[in-house]
Every structure is written in C-alpha cells, then in structure tokens.
C-alpha cells in the first residue's frame, strides 16, 4: 500500500473518531456510539464486514516479522477483526499497526489472550482462587492480570471461565470456581470488575472480559472433555446459568460460546441459548465469539456442513468466528442463497465494532500499545507480593493430626516428591504468558524460608508417573522427568528421609495434568507417588503431604494414613514462597474447598447442593441399609465436603439466632452467629450460610449457599456475623421457569463447611 493510502486509512478513521469512548452508560452516549459505528459501517464493503467477523489465532510470530506473517497480511488486508495469543508488546503493536495503517479503513484489532489466572505474575489456578472465598483478592488478581496483559498489548481476555463443574474427572474444573452457583456468581462478578476496571473500560489497563463457555460446558458427560451435555431447563436455570448471568449483569462486554451441545444443538448455533436466553432474557448487548473452531465442528457433531453451520451460527446471534473461517469463507455464499441477510451480517459487525469503540480503540488505536509499559508494569515486586499473599489464602488444610503443621524452622527437613524441585510446573494450566524461567522451585522457596535455622534435604523420590508417556501428558513441553529407575529414586528418598526430623512430600499432578484436554478416569495419586508416600511413612518420621492438583483428588488412603495434608493446587508464579509461608506458620491457612473431594470415582458426581431422594439415609455411617439411597461399598458423602478447610486455630460457632422466625413478603430477617477464635493464633474463617426451601412446587436442593463472610479473628476474639435474609434470595425458577419465592417453610443453616451446620427454621409469609 502506498504511503498516501496509508495516511488516508488513518485519516478516514480520525475524521469520524468519537470524542467519547468506554461502555456507554446513558442514552446520549449510546446514541453517540451508534452514530459513529453506523458512519463507519456505511463505508464498509461486504468483504471488510466479513473480515471483522473473523478471529484467527496469531501463531507465534517473531518481533519484526509481523509484516511477513499470514496474520500480518490478513490484518493489512482488513480480513480479520482481531487475533489472539501472541505474547509481547512489540509483536502486538506491529500487528495493530498493520491493521490501522495498512488496511483501507484502518479499523483497529481486538487483541485477545487466554489470561486465565494472571500474565507473568501468575495467580493460583481459578479453582484454587475460588477456595480463598476472598472476592477482593480475586478482583485484585484480575486487575493485576489486566494491567500486565494490557502492558503486553492485549485488550481482551478470554476469562472468566465460569462453568459450574461437579465432575473432577474433567480437567477444566481447574479453570472454574467449582460446584456452587452462588459462589461462582460472586467470583464471576469480581473477575469482570477486575478486568474491565472501575471506569467502564476507560483506562489503558482496562480490558474486555469474555465470560465462557456459554453454556454448560462443565457438565460434559463422564467428565470427558468436549463431550455431550444433556440437561433439564430447570437445572440450567437454577444451577448452571447463574454465573454466566452474573457476569453479564456485572457488565461483561463479551461472551464465548461453548463446544458442547445444548438441547441437541451445538451452543454456537443454538438460537435459543444465544439470542432468547442471553440477549433477550438477560439483556446482553455485547459481542459473542465462538470457541476455537466450533463452527467447523458442527458437522462432526452430526449437523450441517460449514456454510450452513456458519449461517445458522450467525442467525443464532453469534458474532465472531474463532478459527473456523466459516464466516469469512462462506457467508457471502449464504447471502446469495438467502440463508443469511445483510441485516444479520450487519448486526454482528456492529457488535464487534461496538466492542472496539467501548475499548476506545477508535479514539486511540494504540491505547494498548504503550511499549514502555511492558518493562515497568509486568512481574513487578508489588504484583508478586500480591500473588504470594493471595496464593497462601487458597491452600486448603485437609488434615492436621496432632497439630503437625505448622512446622518449626529448625532441625532437618526432607523435601521429597516430583513437584519439590519443579519450578516450571508451579504456574498451573492455561498460563499462556507465564515466564517459568523466572519462578523459583519449592526447594528454593523452602531454603529461603528457613535460612540458617534449619537444614533442607532434597530427593525427588518418584516421577509424576512411572510411565514416561503418561508423564508427558502431565507436563507437555515442560518436561521434568528423572531418567533413573523408580527403585533408584525411591532408595535415594528413603536415605535422605532417614536423616531428617520431618518429611514434606510435594506430590500430585503435573502442570497440564488438569486443564483443557486433560480428563482423567483415575484421579488418585499415580502409583509411583503412592509408593513414595508409603516408603516415607515406613521411615516412621512424620509426613506432611502437599498435594499439587488442578482438581479434587481421590485420597481416601492418604486421608487415613498421612498425618498432615494440605492441598496447594497450582499456586502460580509465587508458589515457592507462598507454600512455606503456610507450612511454617507465617500465614495461617484459610482456604475452603469449592468442589467436593470424592472418596472414589464411583461417587461422581458428588456435590453438596443435591436433592433429597424419597429414601434418604439418615446416617452416613458406612453401614449399608437396603432400600435406602446408598452404596453397598461406599458412603454417600464425599471425603471432604464443599466449604471444608482447617486452620491452625479453632473457631467456635455459638448463639446462632434469628431475629424473627417470620419473613414478610417485603421484609427481611437476620440470622446471626458468634464466631470465636479459641486457639492461640490469629486466623481467618469463612463463615457460610445455607438455606433450604423445605417444600417447593418443584424439588429444591437440601441446602444452597446464600451468603458467606471471611473474617479475621485474633486469639480469643469473637465476632457476631449477620446474614440478612430477604425474599429475593429465596427465589428460584419454578416449573414454568418463572423466577419466584414461594411462601412456606425454610431452614437457615450456618457453619464452617457445608456439612457441619446448625439449623433454624423460619417461614416466608
């Protein structure tokens, strides 16, 4: 393109550039946006419009090479509306520059990335983050992720992932907030606020959130990734939809459709889902993008071929095609044969341009390309300190026999296990921008923590899996395999452990043992690691197990045999410091499970907010009772329930009371409880309130989380914690899908987890 033309492109844009950009909040602002977008659209050719609907991945281009790359050529030709997963401020700037300066209309690009739990400062995986129950911390983690990724040229994150999941076989449970609709909704909101900023996307570190995967992806059958979903509408509305809707209510600017079927139709082309529910019922007026290649997968699901699937997806209300090339490749044909209209195409183009407008890209296409920011805003000491503090809040202390934890910083400590000296595994799945080489291993973290006060001995003891092929599936490119035999590794660990006073075993999954495409049918510790734990116990020394996992682990044997167990998930870039912070007691653990830990795979799905059967079993004591709802060979309850997690101190719950046992239709009543720190250490407790609707017009769950509060208590200190109950929070979708609160009997419960609760009755008039 000639220089003159380049200037024309920029000139064209600037001539119509608005004076306001951000998410419009009133009619005048909306009118201004409409006027600008309509003006721009009136200048666009059909090809340019279809270009906007196209979202291919960037591949990994090298700095300075954008111009020679396919993606660069497509940007310059106006054939893409955006691209994603290119890391580096300079590279993303080069791509943006090609779109802005070389394409005829100079329309800037959406530059996306899977910034799921941080950028280079990596926060714990989302499942772990949810275990903090700390909404401020979660919002701050998203804010820091937005600051860092925008410094890298990103203006759109494919997060939050809010798929409710009750099946830990599904590897992507790692990316979500667990099994609960209410907690999941609160977290979805916090993340949207964090990404998009306080000021409607005005700042240059405020990026578009993309709530995904709409919808029901977490309910894939048998926990196998990409598998079929089939679910009643009641369950959708009352359980699985809540967090998507919460994110939309909070102002999430974009939504990503899911891979799975919803009512027999792939989500991406399901009009009921994308238009009737999302847009019409929930009022979402932002942009919908498909998941990777999902229009192309329609045919493989057993429906139409790409041209018809593209038309159907567009008509369903989907705007942007990620990597199927169906919109750019076939919609012209669709226009000719009448399967789509120009109005259908325009609707999608408008929404994409509006997303760019909201970002302020038409005002300043380089808003996210301030190259100086990359050096100063990424992986800063402040961000790292925050990540370390937050990571420590996510660890869940599952067992602590005789107060084995915290350990004293003295004597000799044997650190063993495949995750003990594996810096490149700490970040956890979907950490696209992680800089593994900058992170410390746990071993280094332990050494730094104890200094000269104690001696740390190390032996690997086991590979993640004995079988090298299986191990590769856990670690992908981040290989950590030790080529010695299992026996040699074990013998070394036994020798090291025999010199120690206490053993800390860092065991579990590898970095990609959970996440996308990492479903497992066996979610217990691999045999090589079980053998290591057995050998450690056999030394007679006290053993602390640190479980690295992206999902609930089946650990009945461990729970019976190992004196202290802490689930540390994948804690992100600062894991190496955050784990010793808690192990040595500088921080008191406060994480609580957000997904039940099953006793065995056969119980799955096992979750706290289930329905009663007509034949409940009164006592979950492990004794089989015929013709009751129970198993011949297992209890019904999980090993560790939703909401469970211990502390180094003890909290007592007393004086649970309701100020009124009758709730008027327009009124409110308050349940309160006194929580006292009975121990000798300060600590945080997550006080949980549940409600049961005793007799509904449809069956209602045995309990539902409705409120929680994270409180800090000094030794001996007490706090009264209140829960204000209103009819609004008793609402649910009835058989006709009306959102109603039904008068009648209710129970309110409070406790430190979903099982150990006290209960009081009340009536809704």
Residues lying near ligand BGC in the complex (CB under 6 A) are found at 85, 114, 158, 212, 291-292, 516
What angle in degrees, to the nearest 10, is found between the helix axes of 326-337 and 306-316?
90
Torsion of CA 633, 562, 124, 597, to 10 degrees: 10
Angle (deg, nearest 10), helices 181-196 and 135-151? 40
Paired with 725 in beta bridges are: 669
Report the residue number, 516 or 742, with the smaller CB distance to ligand BGC. 516
Question: Of 22 and 86, which CB lies nearer to ligand BGC in the complex structure?
Answer: 86
The dihedrals phi and psi of 115, each to the nearest 5 degrees, come to: -95, 80
CB of 173 to ligand BGC, least distance (A): 13
Q: In whole angstroms, how close is the CB of 212 to ligand BGC at the nearest point?
A: 6
Comparing CA positions, the residue from 327, 433, 439 lying closest to residue 80 is 327
Minimum CB–partner distance for residue 124 and ligand BGC (Å): 18
Minimum CB distance to ligand BGC smaller for 158 or for 362: 158
Distance of closest approach, residue 110 Cβ to ligand BGC, in angstroms: 13
Distances (CA, A) of 93 to 74, 87, 108, 143: 15, 11, 11, 22
Phi-psi region for residue 554, left (φ > 0), alpha (ψ -120 to 50) or beta? beta
> Is 63 within 8 Å of 88 (Cβ atoms)?
yes
**Spatial contact of 623 and 615, defined as CB atoms under 8 Å apart:** no
Q: Tell me the closest approach of the beta carbon of residue 293 to ligand BGC, in angstroms.
A: 8
From residue 295, alpha-carbon distances to 221, 259, 313, 348, 350 in Å are: 21, 9, 7, 15, 20
Our CB check for ligand BGC shows the closer of 219 and 741 to be 219
Residue nearest to ligand BGC (CB): 158
How wide is the angle at C-alpha 493 spanned by C-alphas 490 and 498, nearest 5°? Answer: 125
Q: Minimum distance between the CB of residue 213 and ligand BGC, rounded to whole angstroms?
A: 6
Q: What is the C-alpha to C-alpha distance for residues 739 and 362, in angstroms, rounded to an integer?
A: 41
Burial 85-113 (b: 16+ CB within 10 A, else e): bbbbbbbbbbbbbbbbbbbbbbbbbbbbb
Q: Which of 163, 206, 291, 319 is catalytic?
A: 291
Pick 125 or 750: Cβ nearer ligand BGC = 125
Minimum CB–partner distance for residue 300 and ligand BGC (Å): 15
Burial (CB count <10 Å: 0-12, 13-18, 19+), residue 478: middle
479 among known catalytic residues: no
In angstroms, the CA 95 to CA 71 distance is 8
Q: How far is the C-alpha of 641 from the C-alpha of 752, rounded, in Å? A: 11
Please spell the DSSP secondary structure of 255-317, one letter per residue: EEE-SSEETTEEGGG-HIIIIIIIIIIT---SEEE--TTTTTTHHHHTS--HHHHHHHHHHHT
Asked whether the beta carbons of 257 and 200 are under 8 A apart, the reply is no
Cβ-based neighbours of 200, under 8 Å, separated by 6 or more: 22, 23, 25, 206, 251, 358
Closest by CA position to 398, among listed 587, 653, 644, 686: 644
Of 627, 630, 547, the closest CA to residue 593 belongs to: 547
The least CB distance from residue 161 to ligand BGC, in Å, is 6
Residue 116 C-beta: closest distance to ligand BGC, Å: 8
Closest separation between CB of residue 292 and ligand BGC, Å? 4
CB nearer to ligand BGC: give 515 or 641.
515
Q: Determine contact, residues 629/617, Cβ cutoff 8 Å.
A: yes
Cα–Cα distance, 690 to 728 (Å, whole number): 15
Which residue numbers are catalytic? 291
């Amino acid at each position: 393109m000639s220089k003159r033309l380049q200037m024309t492109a920029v000139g064209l844009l600037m001539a119509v550039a608005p004076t306001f950009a951000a998410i419009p909040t009133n009619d005048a602002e909306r009118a201004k946006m409409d006027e600008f977008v309509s003006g721009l659209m009136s200048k666009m050719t059909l090809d340019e419009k279809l270009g906007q609907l196209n979202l291919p991945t960037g591949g990994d281009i090298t700095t300075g090479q954008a111009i020679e790359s396919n993606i660069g050529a497509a940007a310059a030709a106006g054939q893409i509306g955006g691209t994603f997963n290119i890391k580096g401020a300079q590279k993303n700037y080069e791509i943006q520059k090609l779109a802005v300066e070389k394409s005829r209309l100079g329309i800037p690009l959406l530059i996306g990335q899977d910034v799921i739990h941080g950028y280079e400062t990596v926060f714990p995986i989302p499942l772990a983050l949810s275990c903090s129950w700390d909404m401020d911390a979660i919002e701050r983690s998203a804010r820091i992720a937005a600051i860092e990724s925008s410094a890298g040229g990103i203006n759109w994150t494919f997060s939050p992932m809010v798929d409710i999941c009750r099946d830990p076989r599904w590897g992507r449970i790692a990316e979500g907030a667990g099994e609960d609709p209410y907690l999941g909704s609160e977290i979805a909101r916090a993340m949207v606020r964090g990404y998009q900023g306080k000021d409607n996307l005005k700042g240059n570190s405020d990026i578009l959130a993309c709530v995904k995967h709409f919808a029901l992806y977490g309910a894939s059958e048998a926990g196998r990734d990409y598998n079929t979903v089939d679910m009643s509408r009641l369950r959708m509305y009352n359980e699985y939809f809540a967090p998507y809707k919460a994110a939309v209510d909070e102002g999430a600017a974009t939504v990503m459709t899911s891979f799975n079927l919803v009512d027999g139709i792939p989500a991406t082309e399901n009009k009921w889902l994308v238009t009737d529910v999302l847009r019409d019922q929930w009022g979402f007026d932002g942009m919908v993008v498909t998941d990777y290649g999902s229009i192309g997968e329609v045919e493989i699901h057993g429906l139409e071929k790409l041209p018809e699937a593209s038309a159907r997806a567009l008509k369903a209300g989907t705007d942007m095609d990620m990597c199927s090339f169906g919109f750019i490749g076939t919609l012209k044909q669709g226009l000719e044969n009448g399967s789509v209209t120009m109005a259908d195409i325009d609707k999608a183009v408008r929404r994409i341009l509006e997303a760019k407008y909201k970002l302020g890209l038409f005002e300043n296409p380089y808003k996210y390309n301030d190259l100086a920011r990359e050096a100063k805003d990424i992986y800063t000491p402040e961000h790292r300190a925050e990540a370390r503090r937050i990571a420590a809040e996510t660890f869940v202390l599952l067992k602590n026999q005789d107060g084995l934890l915290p350990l004293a910083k003295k004597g000799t400590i044997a650190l063993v296990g495949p995750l003990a000296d594996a810096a490149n595994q700490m970040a956890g799945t979907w950490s696209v921008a992680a800089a593994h080489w900058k992170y410390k291993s746990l071993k280094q973290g332990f050494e730094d923590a104890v200094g000269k006060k104690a001696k740390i001995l190390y032996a690997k003891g086991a590979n993640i899996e004995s079988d090298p092929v299986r191990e590769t599936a856990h670690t992908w490119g981040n290989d950590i395999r030790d080529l010695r035999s299992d026996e040699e590794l074990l013998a070394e660990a036994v020798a090291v452990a025999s010199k120690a006073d206490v053993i800390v075993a860092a065991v579990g999954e590898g970095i990609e043992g959970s996440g996308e495409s990492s479903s497992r049918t066996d979610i217990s510790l691999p045999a090589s690691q079980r053998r290591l734990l057995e050998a450690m116990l056999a030394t007679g020394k006290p053993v602390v197990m640190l479980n690295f996992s992206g999902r609930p682990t089946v650990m009945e044997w461990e729970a019976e045999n190992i004196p202290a167990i802490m689930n540390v998930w994948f804690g992100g870039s600062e894991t190496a410091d955050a784990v010793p912070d808690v192990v040595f007691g500088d921080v008191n653990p406060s994480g609580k499970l957000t997904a039940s830990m099953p006793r065995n795979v056969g119980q799955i799905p096992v979750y706290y907010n289930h329905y009663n059967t007509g034949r409940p079993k009164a006592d979950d004591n492990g004794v089989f009772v015929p013709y009751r709802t129970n198993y011949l060979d297992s209890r019904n309850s999980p090993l560790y329930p939703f909401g469970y997690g211990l502390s180094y101190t003890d909290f007592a719950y007393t004086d649970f009371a309701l100020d009124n046992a009758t709730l008027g239709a327009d009124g409110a009543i308050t349940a309160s409880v006194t929580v006292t720190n009975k121990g000798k250490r300060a600590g945080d407790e997550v006080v949980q309130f549940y409600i049961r609707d005793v007799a509904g017009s449809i069956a209602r769950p045995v309990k539902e989380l409705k409120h929680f509060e994270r409180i800090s208590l000094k030794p001996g200190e007490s706090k009264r914690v209140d829960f204000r109950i209103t009819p609004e929070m008793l609402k649910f979708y009835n058989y006709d899908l009306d959102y109603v609160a039904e008068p009648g009997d209710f129970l309110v419960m409070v406790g430190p987890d979903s099982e150990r609760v006290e209960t009081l009755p009340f009536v809704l008039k």
